[in-house]
């Protein structure tokens, strides 16, 4: 029970941190590759990979200044452990990730969604690792969930 309530809390915080993204509209545009900021992909990839490898090793990720305060405060060491246990149950042990695409809210360049396919040792379900970066290139949202092909 504690596990479910903690995961629900993290989901609420992560959704809260993205409220500006969803508030004005839910229209998204897929960015053509020539418009994608490669630095943002690197930031998202490095964070996701380091975060998941750290949890896989049984340690807690120590945030510096790469994320917004709400996300840092919500992903306590206990919550991180519970999140990774949930990910293991759904997808298996984390292996790697592959960049797939970048989206942004139509008419809003403040938040960017970067999507990766997660590579886990139990590939029964395709997984998505989604990172949202704000205008300062800080992590503003982070999900690991079943893959869907289109955000629209």
| CATH value at residue 116 | 3.10.450.590
* Alpha carbons 23 and 32: distance in angstroms, whole number: 24
- What pLDDT score does 21 carry? 42
* Alpha carbons 49 and 30: distance in angstroms, whole number: 23
Q: Is residue 152 part of a domain?
A: no
* Alpha carbons 57 and 25: distance in angstroms, whole number: 39
Domain count, the chain: 1
- Asked if residue 12 has pLDDT above 50, the reply is no
Domain that holds residue 41: 2-21+28-146
Query: If you average pLDDT over residues 49-62, what whole number do you get?
Result: 98
- Asked if residue 67 has pLDDT above 50, the reply is yes
Buried b (16+ CB within 10 A) or exposed e, 8-26: eebeebbeebbeebeeeee
34 neighbors 118 (Cβ within 8 angstroms): no
107 neighbors 138 (Cβ within 8 angstroms): no
Q: Is residue 151 part of a domain?
A: no
- What pLDDT score does 106 carry? 81
Q: Is residue 104 part of a domain?
A: yes
Looking at the chain, the whole-number percentage of residues with pLDDT higher than 90 is 72
Q: Is residue 41 part of a domain?
A: yes
> pLDDT-based confidence at 107, cuts 50/70/90?
confident
* Alpha carbons 145 and 127: distance in angstroms, whole number: 6
Q: Hey, what's the torsion of the CAs at 41, 12, 62, 69, to 10 degrees?
A: 80
Q: Is residue 48 part of a domain?
A: yes
């Amino acid at each position: 029970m504690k596990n479910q309530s903690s995961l629900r809390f993290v989901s609420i915080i992560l959704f809260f941190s993205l409220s500006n993204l969803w508030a004005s509209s839910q229209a998204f545009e897929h960015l053509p590759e020539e418009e994608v900021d490669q630095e943002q992909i690197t930031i998202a990839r490095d964070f996701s990979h380091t975060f998941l490898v750290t949890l896989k090793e049984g340690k807690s990720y120590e945030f510096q200044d790469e994320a917004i305060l709400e996300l840092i405060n919500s992903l306590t060491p206990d919550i991180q452990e519970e999140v990774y246990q949930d990910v293991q149950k759904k997808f298996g042990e984390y292996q790697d990730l592959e960049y797939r695409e970048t989206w942004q809210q139509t008419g809003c360049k403040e938040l960017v969604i970067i999507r990766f396919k997660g590579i886990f040792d139990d590939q029964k379900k395709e997984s998505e690792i989604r990172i949202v970066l704000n205008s300062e290139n800080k992590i503003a949202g982070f999900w690991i969930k079943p893959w869907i092909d289109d955000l629209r």
